[in-house]
Chain A
Amino acid sequence: MAKKRERLEVIHDILIAVRESNNSIKPTRLLYSSNLSPQMFREYTNELLEKKFMEEKEADGKKTYSLTKKGFEFLEKYKLIVDFIGNFGL
């Protein structure tokens, strides 16, 4: 059985999915890419929007998500963060 993803890993996967879609992705596509249940997906996206890792945009009545500067910074520093947590057993 696959190992349950840690919270930071899930956030990383969501942000990567947004970045790899030219930084603009529809919620339904992001839900499929994130491999989460709809309820968990809502919780994570709400958190990411609240903490300003992503922003919601609306064009022609269609909602899309994009990364903010903070979201890009998280991805840039992800390896460092994971190493830090691993190095100190946190």
Chain B
Amino acid sequence: MNNETYTEEATLDTGAPRPEVAAGPKPAGAPATSPNHVMETRNMSIYYGDFRAVADVSLGFARNEISALIGPSGCGKSTVLRSLNRMNDLIASARTEGEVHYHGTNIYADGIDPVRVRRTIGMVFQKPNPFPKTIYDNIAWGAKINGYRGSKANIDDLVQEALEGAALWDEVKDKLQESGYSLSGGQQQRLCIARAIATKPDVILMDEPCSALDPIATLRIEELMLELKRDYSIVIVTHNMQQAARVSDKTAFFNVKLNETGMRTGRLVEYSPTEQLFTSPNEKDTEDYITGRFG
């Protein structure tokens, strides 16, 4: 009646709130190269001067999927995101160790120009930041500075395409010459998305894109993300777990721990399909975080 042998597929021990087996740290994510991955990080650590902000992250992002990075403040998820298009280079003291592969090429290798990297890996920021220009110029500028050769009519088409792709065309098609600042917050963020996709990137990085927006605007952007993933691969940082649950295909949970020297370093704890991570996560830390039992 007890302890009979039985076959089991993967027995997954979960952290239930009652006395449980302590779950040991498991290697999170798959470090092996997968042909379906558009980007991969391999043992990446990021330092600000001597301070190790993020340690040993190995993650793979699949094509045409939305991957979410979640975790408490200070866990380094934004830092990891910014390393994917070398925006950390703009911070003087930032240093990246390990590799970040884009279609098999390490973007941190010597001789790789970060300007090139950023053209194919675009970014949308937390607070909408359109340029103080007209709506039209906001979108056309990115293309022009990258050497767009088309005529005025071509640029008009490009602007319309980008705005349609960002679900903003109908709302602004009659006021393209007005300032970008004349739009509401949610519209401005969609303008920033349109601006990012105007340069025809491959990957779009979004750093808490909805945290400055009201719930309706947030939902519209989430809908937009689900449409965009047909053509782009998206990585999003969010502190809203429900948003990660709604839009992402896979979710990575980062946690920050004090180590021996008193430094708070962020680490990747778990990287799983979203549905699994939010109903039965592998790691106790993840379980504690998503149920709010986190300190």
Judge: A and B partners, yes or no: no
